[in-house]
Chain A
């Protein structure tokens, strides 16, 4: 067994949580984010698909889902970065007997709104949403989704039939958006009692009807608290934005080498900035051309630019999965992602440059990041590194309009 090491963190530090197929790791750095201490592995040998860090009400609580193909899936927690771990005697996330369902995995742990500090959510496989209103002690399934009339027609994607995205609306406490592979996007406007499919305009490339009411294979959706009506979506083929809370979606795959991909993260301080890692295709799930490129939009999807400095641009046949990318709330914000080949990359300057933080891990399936001591709430829009960077880019563009320059190729090479 590997020797387990621990980290500790103080206010102003940044922690990065890394879930792998053989256990979880906790990385810590100071505000500079150049050198990292590594804690773990925790839940040695177990896949850890979901992690979260709850800082509401002064907590420093790590949550993670320990999956075992033998012993089932249990939600673990620690209030001291893994030194002492709480693994409940009786599993807390369980389907009721009458559902005839049994938990396979927990894919997502999501904190409730800042003004609801004892609420947490879990997205699980088979697709269901669980909620806790006592700080994670007890959990129950959201009945409106468990008994959804579409359930019999939801089918598993390649990873299983998982509910992997949970977006509690930051303004309207009765609204929530969730996503299921492969069922698509659903929204509730009545506190979870009823759920409506919200997939208009999203392609289901693998079905005879390319635009069905539901059945899309959504991979990730993100939302910024300053603009809750606007959603960005990375689909199994397709990049989309909705400006009406998911009622309709429009294609924003402008200038990416492929519109297939898994992960997508929102800039924490700028509702126009989103990061993705394009993947060549569903047949060949690797970074296109063997180049490890993060793509960023600064204008809500009107255009995307590759971020490559410090990332391998040769023989990098990598896969970054749906939950393997995260941002911290520092300014400038840090961005982190992990690969199926066990590498963790990080940027402390909003993606301008990257460093390899760790190599040689088991396959990475989850990355989460947090600024320690920020209370765990999403920051409102403010002038930060992203805005300064945007101004710089705009200036550069105006200059290039004045001078003849090589035109950037725009296309959707891999769109089918």
Chain B
């Protein structure tokens, strides 16, 4: 089964107007899944990762219900058919 990525509304305009999309193949880790995502929509990369390849501080990425910040970061495993959620953190003023 394909992996689905959910994209926050702010970034939909950088993903052809879509809020979710399915990735071809079976990415083993979150890093692999994101690499496939950048292939499809390159503009998403700089908005989600900084130039050192780290997930921006106020963005959370979940595999299913598990925050990768508290798992193995970008090396977190992605099970077949999983859903990856990219969610802006609740912060600011």
The chain A residues found within 8 Å of chain B, CB to CB, are 69-72, 74, 89-91, 94-97, 100-103
Contacts and interface: CB of A to CB of B under 8 A. Distances in A.
Nearest to B8: A70
B50 A72 contact: yes
A89 B48 CA distance: 12
A26 B47 CA distance: 26
Contacts of B92: 69
11 contacts: A69-B58, A69-B92, A70-B56, A70-B89, A71-B10, A72-B47, A91-B46, A91-B51, A95-B52, A102-B50, A102-B54
Contact of A102 (B47, B51, B91): B51
A385 to B, nearest CB: 42
Contacts of B45: 90
A43 B88 CA distance: 17
B43 A95 contact: no
Contacts of B42: 89-90
Interface string B34-52: 0000000011011110111
A165 to B, nearest CB: 24
Q: Taking each of B46, B53, B91, which has the highest tally of chain A beta carbons within 10 Å of its own beta carbon?
A: B46
**Secondary structure call for the B interface:** loop
A401 to B, nearest CB: 54
Given A90-B43, A90-B46, A70 B52 contact: no
Contact of A72 (B10, B14, B46, B89): B46
B51 A94 contact: yes
B47 A71 contact: yes
A100 B52 CA distance: 6
A70 B51 contact: no
A70 B54 contact: no
B59 interface: yes
B58 A70 contact: yes
A102 B43 contact: no
Given A70-B10, A94-B51, 18 more contacts: A69-B58, A70-B58, A70-B59, A70-B89, A71-B48, A71-B56, A72-B50, A89-B43, A89-B46, A90-B46, A91-B51, A94-B46, A96-B51, A100-B52, A101-B52, A102-B51, A102-B52, A102-B54
Contact of A103 (B10, B11, B50): B50
Interface of B: 10-11, 14, 42-43, 45-48, 50-54, 56-59, 88-89, 91-92
B11 to A, nearest CB: 8
A7 to B, nearest CB: 24
Contacts of A103: 50-51
A2 B88 CA distance: 22
Contacts of B11: 71
A26 to B, nearest CB: 22
A95 B58 CA distance: 19
B88 A97 contact: no
Given A89-B14, A90-B45, A69 B91 contact: yes
B57 to A, nearest CB: 8
A101 B10 CA distance: 26
Closest 8 CB pairs of A and B: A89-B43, A102-B50, A91-B46, A94-B51, A71-B47, A70-B58, A70-B88, A102-B52
Nearest to B92: A69
A69 B59 CA distance: 9
A71 B50 CA distance: 9
Contacts of A97: 51-53
A246 B58 CA distance: 40
A315 B37 CA distance: 54
A101 B52 CA distance: 7
B70 to A, nearest CB: 19
Nearest to A91: B46
A72 B53 CA distance: 13
